[in-house]
Amino acid sequence: MKTNWIKPVTLFTALTMALTSCQNDDKDNENAVNSNINFASASKTPALVTPQTGFEDLLISSLISSGDVLKDSPSFIYGAQPDGAGLMKDPDSDGYILISNHEILKSVSRVYLDKTFTPIKGDYIVDGIGGLTRLCSATLVTPEIHGFGPIFLTAGESGEESMVHGINPFSSSSEKSRTDRVLPALGKASMENAVPLPKLAYPGKTVIIIGEDQSYASSHASAGQVVMYMSETVGDLNNGKLYALKRNDDNQVETDMTVSKSFDVSFVEIPNAKNSTGAEINTKVNALKAIRFSRVEDVDYRKGSASNNREIYFTATGQSTANNPVAGYTMWGRVYKLVLDANSPLKGKLELVVEGDSTPGTGIINPDNICVTENYVYIQEDGDSYYAAAKHDSYIWQYNIATKANKAWMTMKHDRTNTVWNAIYNPVNETRFGSWEYGAMEDISDIIGVPNTFTLNIHPHTWQDAKFKNADGSGTNTNIEGGQTVIIRNVQR
């Protein structure tokens, strides 16, 4: 991979940037207020989410949606399924840049916002040709937080040979079809996110936690994994080693772990991973007795101190066969906490903290994206498994790290009994719970200078319009869904 496009770190030391998985929780700007920001909905489409009972103080406005026409690029379409994302200040103006994956389009958009936080221009820096596979969660890596970058790490998720891309956020849109920006050293798998730990966690190292979103129910394959890439050089994405998470007692069965019990774990090296196929990695990982999770979708770390940064949370989305559990795997989904050893990232303690199978249909349903602050874990559901026992649409849950209380925090704003609403947002007449899902939830407080402010991406799958087709201009996808990003204020951090 060519790296000469990476701008010198010194250029960015004055900039405040954020990460996909709500990676920024700096308290230095806790009381800052940027009076330039205009929180009136910039999008003509109303916000498609609403707070749950007890969280009515949340203020929600729509930032950008697929039907919007931007002033300086009227032909730009904000595409379907905005998932992983990152926000940063624009070094060439007093505005901002929003980078977003569009999962089904295999694309990455770039939206420029002015100093009031109004979108004014957009383009694509990865299209359906360059993306190669579906692009799900992502991480915007920055010198301020990680010690290297900026680089947008977006994980491919379309089978076991998929790879992580390393995208220059300032690249020309003329490069959007490039296929040479993948990072073989980070492995091959159906991956959801690649999340570097902050430079405070393990100074002098590059440590990246990767979630594998695959079921692999057959006995010879690895099943969903938590994988670590580690290099002894900061910013080295080519020469490190790849490791898989295992219990020290060699028990691979996910459902043998229960809530509040702690398990000694370690990361074991996957031999010659860089030069192996995904199928070969699967076989090697299973032979290493790695834990067989059911679809590890997203990963994030706790914000704050170095010790907090070594506390990792990840989701196991779950799987079923004909609405029945698969032996050894979660069906409704789980959230795990992994605490890494202060002296070595290859050792730690694993704990199950949220269990969906104990509350089928009423608790969490297929958790997907995850956002961790200093005190809370925000768990975003992707309930389109359409389990017969599901009792609610896709929620975001707020898990309190200190008290372990888990509360329903946000839900989709469906109005399926309204004929006018259905004509616009549900022309396919999908009435089952879980027909919409969430993408990245990101803490943007310190980038824009307004405390407790987040963005949230939404996949309103049933909002379909022919004018949304071919949003990235590649001609590789016939999807006609709309997508949306909203701003949420008064979020507890």
pLDDT > 90: what percent of the chain? 89
Asked if residue 145 lies in contact with residue 200, where contact means CB atoms within 8 angstroms, the answer is no
The mean pLDDT of 477-488, rounded to a whole number, is: 97
The predicted pLDDT at position 217 comes to 57
Q: How far apart are CA 1 and CA 402, in angstroms?
A: 43
Q: Which residue is associated with the tokens 């990792």? A: 312
Residue 5 has pLDDT above 90, yes or no: no
Would you state the structure tokens that stand for residue 60, as one six-digit string? 């929600």
The mean pLDDT of 184-206, rounded to a whole number, is: 97
- Calculate the average pLDDT of the chain: 92
| 282: Cβ contacts below 8 Å, ≥ 6 apart | 160, 189, 216, 220, 221, 222
* pLDDT one-digit tens code per residue, 7-27: 333 333 333 344 444 544 444
Residue 28 has pLDDT above 60, yes or no: no
Asked if residue 350 lies in contact with residue 338, where contact means CB atoms within 8 angstroms, the answer is yes
Asked if residue 65 lies in contact with residue 482, where contact means CB atoms within 8 angstroms, the answer is yes
The predicted pLDDT at position 6 comes to 33
DSSP letter at 359 equals S
The predicted pLDDT at position 339 comes to 98
Q: How far apart are CA 18 and CA 105, in angstroms?
A: 24
Closest CA to 197 of 304, 278, 68: 304
Q: How far apart are CA 181 and CA 167, in angstroms?
A: 7
Q: How far apart are CA 295 and CA 350, in angstroms?
A: 17
Beta strands in 270-428 (DSSP E): 296-301, 311-316, 320-321, 324-325, 334-340, 347-355, 367-372, 376-381, 395-400, 406-412
The predicted pLDDT at position 15 comes to 37
Which domains, ranges and CATH numbers included, belong to the chain? 9-489 (2.120.10.30)
* pLDDT one-digit tens code per residue, 67-106: 999 999 999 999 999 999 999 999 999 999 999 999 999 9
The predicted pLDDT at position 214 comes to 80
> pTM of the full predicted structure?
0.94
Would you state the structure tokens that stand for residue 281, as one six-digit string? 């990695």
Would you state the structure tokens that stand for residue 247, as one six-digit string? 């219990």
The predicted pLDDT at position 223 comes to 82
pLDDT > 70: what percent of the chain? 92
The better pLDDT of the pair 119, 10 is held by 119
The predicted pLDDT at position 14 comes to 34
Q: How confident is the model at residue 210 (pLDDT cuts 50, 70, 90)?
A: very high
The mean pLDDT of 182-193, rounded to a whole number, is: 96
Q: How confident is the model at residue 32 (pLDDT cuts 50, 70, 90)?
A: confident
Instruction: Give the H or E element holding residue 262.
Output: strand 262-269
Q: How confident is the model at residue 202 (pLDDT cuts 50, 70, 90)?
A: very high
Q: How far apart are CA 136 and CA 124, in angstroms?
A: 16
With vertex at residue 254, the alpha carbon angle to CA 383 and CA 258, rounded to the nearest 5 degrees, is: 90
Buried b (16+ CB within 10 A) or exposed e, 349-379: ebbbbbbbbeeeeebbbbbbbbbbbebbbbb
The length of the chain is: 493
Residue 2 has pLDDT above 70, yes or no: no
Instruction: Give the H or E element holding residue 108.
Output: strand 107-113
The mean pLDDT of 162-176, rounded to a whole number, is: 98
